[in-house]
Amino acid sequence: MKTTTVEVSEGFHSVRPITLRIRNDTITPHQRTRLWKHMCGITTCTCQPYHGWRIDGMDDGWFLFLLSHADWRAYKNRHAR
């Protein structure tokens, strides 16, 4: 089982780093939700997903590809702070 540790930080809101352990190049729904809440999660916010994210530990394009299956607007509306 391949495990990769990825640290995501900054973004539109200049948040502190969050660390995710990604197994077999699969990001779980829980990890997606946790990441979204950490990076923004504000229902009325107009920031763009991925805007200014700093991604360490994995190729940026591949990481964003793994996240591309998530419906960010749905997560934003369901899991707002």
Break the chain into its structural domains and give their ranges: 3-78
pLDDT digits (tens, 9 = 90+) for 27-78: 888 888 888 888 887 778 777 767 788 999 988 888 888 877 655 555 555 5
Exposed/middle/buried for 16, CB within 10 Å: 0-12, 13-18, 19+?
exposed
Q: What is the pTM of this model?
A: 0.73
